[in-house]
Amino acid sequence: MAKTTTDHDEIRRWAESHGGRPAVVRSTHDEAHGSGRKSRKTGVGLLRLMFPKARQSDHGELEEIEWTEFFQQFEESKLALLYEEDSNFNKLIGRDTAEKREHGDHKAARH
């Protein structure tokens, strides 16, 4: 059964116990003009948890980031983690969606 949390320690502990690392979708990063360096002034981009050692794992479009950067964007975006304790299944969802699901609306989604 899936659990939902916003607790940073719980998220990090769960992810690392499954070989997970914080990441962002590379194409959602902003590029600084002409420098080739990443600019995160408007946010990191689309957050993900990547599992590089998992079978059939394709992370070619993901870029690993630091946990501090991950959680800063996690909070700014008001996200929650939906996950299964004994598998790599996870999904970052809006906290508003998580709250609706806790109250029985299992089809709730952010639009």
The per-residue pLDDT for range 74-109, each reduced to its tens digit, is 999 999 999 999 999 999 999 998 887 676 666 666
Q: Assign 45 a pLDDT band (cuts: 50, 70, 90).
A: confident
- Structural domain boundaries of the chain? 2-26+45-100
Cα torsion at 65, 66, 67, 72 (round to 10°)? -80
Q: State residue 53's pLDDT score.
A: 81
Residues forming a β-bridge with 49: 22
Confidence at 58, pLDDT banded by 50, 70, 90: low
Q: C-alpha 61: how far from its chain's center?
A: 14
